Structure 1
Amino acid sequence: MNKMLDVSGIAVSPDHYINGARVASNETFELFRPIDQSSLGQISEGTAEHVEAAISAAERAFPAWSALSAAERKPYLDRFAEEIGKRADAFCVLESNDAGVLLSRMRHGVVPRAKLNISWFAEHALKLQDHPIDTEQAHHIVRHDPAGVVAIITPWNAPLMLSTWKLGPALAAGNTCILKPPEWAPLTCSLLADAADAAGLPPGVFNVVQGSGANTGAKLVSDPRLARISFTGSVPTAKWIAQAAGANLVPCSLELGGKSPFIVLEDADIDNAAATGALMYRNAGQVCLAGTRFLVHDKVAEKFVAAMRGHVEKLNVGDPRDEATEIGPVIHPRQVERVLGFIERAVVGGAELLWGGSKHPFGAQYIQPTMLTRLQQSDEIVQNEVFGPVLTLQTFGSDDEAIALANGTDYGLGGVCYGETTHATAVAERVRTGFIWINSFGIRDLAAPFGGIKRSGIGREGGNWSFEFFCDIKDIVVPKKPFRASFSQR
């Protein structure tokens, strides 16, 4: 076991968690704070041996864990949620340091949601057992049986929330899991292993193997012993995962990028729409479900821009560990270069900067909240996910034009539509996307489906949809009348 890291007074292990124990690696990678680029320490890199050990441990643990009923697994998961709560402050500090997530958002949103992700799905699993269907011919007992060993791969923008969002239903369904945290932000996933250990989850039920996607992740997703792969991240990585999984016919759930429209109709409450629009800069724009393409009716565009500018100018850019901060850093120097490249190419191509457009003086990994206009639908910055504090604005003159613009990319994750409720709902029904908020943003319920269409992903997470993926659905058929075999039957 390697020496514990000290991150702003929080002790966290840099090592893997396999079969109920910490496992060190001779191969390591360095982790940096996005706030000031200072080193957080060396993290164990998962090798083929670590991936093999984790999968073998999960395989050994599966028979006993899957044999438990949902009611018998629930106390383990309730304790897991409680242990997450006990470490709330530590989770907040760690993710603010390695991912640059706002401390206020962690404290008031992410950690409570992480606890709920575990406990809610443990409770919901109780409702899935032995669902009966009666027909004229037979009594059907439809079961949600555990699938087996599950690989969970999470992104760097929300590692704790998205890890628990997947672990909750996977574990509640009776699967055993291997979590591969994001290379740029692995610390809260490491602490999650401590919470699972303290909750008494049996060895091998939950494992954490750290490392890069190209090395550790590639070894994990190509293993034929996996029963499921759940991934949230970029489209290029998803294509590689799907190809590797396809060779072994392993089902994948893929929640990918977004280029979601934020539609402002002529009859919208402009100031409310503008205030919500400023929220799209949350987490420095590193939010897949944010509405990043503003589509505004030309009759209210000038008023909307003025109102949103006023809200954006009030945003406090700074250290995410400060409760007053509203916009923190972009996570990595490579991501900073990528985001600034999008802006520079757009401006060279004729786009107009309404505000922002360059680095923020607070620090090297900070970018000003930016809005660009005078764009063509075919422009790179309209079509591709930037994943930084950069928004675009286009105008329209009719509902049909707004809908054509909204549907005019290869993405289809989410959306926002502001306007008179009946009108906005009618427009939303024609937007091709996995979900869309009317006169609101970010309202989520664990019972509701979440996911996208087109390049934004495959499958849905949440409620029964999560269990449909993490389970093998079995129909036990009991005939109501004596059965007599006949070759004419089908």
Structure 2
Amino acid sequence: MTDHQTTVAGVRVDTRHSIGGRRVASARTFTDVSPVDGSELGEIARGGAAEVDAAVTAAREAFPGWAATSRAQRARVLHAVADGVERRSEELAVVETWDNGALLRSHRKGVLPRVAQNFRFFADRLLALDHEDFTTRGHRNHVSWDPAGPCALITPWNAPLMLASWKVAPALAAGNTVVLKPAEWSPLTASLLVDVAAAAGLPPGVLNVVQGYGAEAGAALVAHPDVRRISFTGSVPTALTIAAAASQRLTPVSLELGGKSPLLVFADADLDLAVDLAVEQYDNAGQVCLAATRVLVEEPVADAFTCRLAERIRRLRQGDPRDEDTDIGPNVHQRQLARIDGYVQRALAAGARAVVGGGPNTEAGGLHYRPTLLTDVAQDSEIVQEEVFGPVLTLQTFRTEAEAVALANDTRFGLAAVLATADRERADRVTARLVAGTVWVNCFYVRDLRAPFGGSRLSGVGREGGDWSFDFFCDVKNTVTAPEGWRDHG
């Protein structure tokens, strides 16, 4: 690396912060290590309170101009950002794979198209954002969405660019300015996004990026007095810290905090479909907040389902995420691998049985963890109650519909749920009783950006997506106008 640049698979990436349209170095750096082969990708500027203050100041100064920009012009810029993402999609996909270890084919086919779609969707939604006027005793009520101000956006490492765009796009569409703090384990595509946005015509200071550790840059950002909104995706302990900081100024927060989602398989379900749904939960090496990692199966089909699932799991191919034939790549970091294995080994010591997997894949080496299926687990056990965030599923059985619902709801979380059944009435009954922000019936991960997204209980606070994003990122105003008392200017 020279001149604050690094090259990843032939792609040049600036490793400095972006503040007010300028690249800014820090006195300290941290090393970004690739989960693909353990190579050092670069020395990344390590920001703290000073860099955060400069970024928020830049966002505050840029806010009046961007907020006053017409909806049509804001939408044109966001569409231009989407165009830039599409033009550079191969570069972005390759860099992200090297940076967080997710499958290159997934980045190409799913993630990068979704990144562009996020910008296009919120651009178009902005132009359609409206509420019909209504009257009260002859007085007109008019609802409007006013930009809130500088927004602090903190994103995780498991889907860096997609989740950044999920927050950045609606915040910018709403007329706000942004300070984005990417996860330190996967910071590179946030830097590239700045380049794409600048080329698309986004004014300086509207999108700022400060890199660094959560305890330093993140803590300073959420505590800054000029931040008007905080959107965070990550862990519950970090969210508690953010909420405490935000409470000092009543800064509105949106928190998406992962989960321990259930997959309910009833005896009348198509078992091949149910197995397919279970296997999908190993996507991204299990590092997916929505993953339904608690498989609950009705007793009459439990043995047949378990055999079919185990056979499918054994056929999953682990290896280099750049290889088109790979199904499961590495986990993101050595600390994450150790965390996953700790959960599994404690479960095995407590009496769980590994039907498949149960430890690191020493043949694949590096940060690969074998896709694991554990049975003989107690409902109150750690492995059932806590989010592992790795390629680990537990399997339990139930006898009745009521028991299935009780088991499904018996955690501190409530992000998502998946249901496999051929009985439409049962599906309606069960989904109505499940505690979850999203429920999929005989499918998984079908997402419409018009729909609300978020979790219940410790899975989060608030909803984003569609108009819910604008409700969060704006100050929603109602103007009441009397029908009389007007002076005639004619």
Q: Which TM-score band applies after superposition, normalised by the shorter structure? A: over 0.9
1:477 paired residue number:
480
| Partner residue of 1:451 out of 434, 450, 454 | 454
2:368 paired residue number:
366
Q: Give the partner amino acid of 1:173.
A: A
Structure 1 residue 47 displacement after superposition:
2.3
Q: Which moved more, 1:320-329 or 1:253-262?
A: 320-329
Q: Give the partner amino acid of 1:401.
A: E
1:378 paired residue number:
380
Counterparts of 1:201-220 in structure 2, within 5 Å, are 201-220=202-221
Partner of 1:475, secondary structure, is strand
Tell me the alpha carbon deviations over residues 123-154 of structure 1, each in whole angstroms, 9 at most, x when there is no partner. 10112256422233310111000000001000
Q: Give the partner amino acid of 2:134.
A: I
**What is the alpha-carbon distance in structure 1 between the residues aligned to residue 398 and residue 148 of structure 2?**
48
Query: CA contact under 8 A between 2:310 and 2:373: conserved in structure 1?
Result: no
**What is the alpha-carbon distance in structure 1 between the residues aligned to residue 219 and residue 333 of structure 2?**
22
| Partner residue of 1:396 out of 391, 395, 398 | 398
Q: Give the partner amino acid of 2:218.
A: G
Say whether residues 1:165 and 2:170 are aligned partners: no
**What is the alpha-carbon distance in structure 2 between the residues aligned to residue 10 and residue 133 of structure 1?**
54
**What is the alpha-carbon distance in structure 1 between the residues aligned to residue 132 and residue 68 of structure 2?**
18
Structure 1 residue 424 displacement after superposition:
2.4
Tell me the alpha carbon deviations over residues 156-175 of structure 1, each in whole angstroms, 9 at most, x when there is no partner. 00010000011111000000
1:461 paired residue number:
464
**What is the alpha-carbon distance in structure 1 between the residues aligned to residue 125 and residue 132 of structure 2?**
13
**What is the alpha-carbon distance in structure 1 between the residues aligned to residue 192 and residue 408 of structure 2?**
40
Partner of 2:262, secondary structure, is strand
Unpaired runs of 5+ residues, structure 2, are none
1:125 paired residue number:
126
2:444 paired residue number:
441
Tell me the alpha carbon deviations over residues 221-251 of structure 1, each in whole angstroms, 9 at most, x when there is no partner. 1001100000000000000000011112100
Tell me the alpha carbon deviations over residues 331-368 of structure 1, each in whole angstroms, 9 at most, x when there is no partner. 11111111000001001111111110011121221100
2:267 paired residue number:
266
Query: CA contact under 8 A between 1:34 and 1:331: conserved in structure 2?
Result: yes
2:230 paired residue number:
229
Partner of 1:125, secondary structure, is helix
**What is the alpha-carbon distance in structure 2 between the residues aligned to residue 106 and residue 47 of structure 1?**
31
2:78 paired residue number:
77
**What is the alpha-carbon distance in structure 1 between the residues aligned to residue 169 and residue 132 of structure 2?**
21
Partner of 2:433, secondary structure, is coil
Partner of 1:291, secondary structure, is coil
**What is the alpha-carbon distance in structure 1 between the residues aligned to residue 428 and residue 44 of structure 2?**
48
1:249 paired residue number:
250
Structure 1 residue 255 displacement after superposition:
0.4
Q: Give the partner amino acid of 1:366.
A: H
Q: Give the partner amino acid of 1:392.
A: T
2:5 paired residue number:
4
Distance 1:2 1:218, change over 3 A: farther
Equivalent pairs: percent with the same residue?
A: 51
Structure 1 residue 426 displacement after superposition:
2.0
Counterparts of 1:285-434 in structure 2, within 5 Å, are 285-360=286-361, 361-422=363-424, 423-434=426-437
Structure 1 residue 448 displacement after superposition:
0.3
Distance 1:72 1:131, change over 3 A: farther
Structure 1 residue 482 displacement after superposition:
5.2
**What is the alpha-carbon distance in structure 2 between the residues aligned to residue 62 and residue 298 of structure 1?**
58
Q: Give the partner amino acid of 2:420.
A: Y
Partner of 1:405, secondary structure, is helix
Query: CA contact under 8 A between 1:356 and 1:368: conserved in structure 2?
Result: yes
Q: Matched residue pairs, number? A: 483
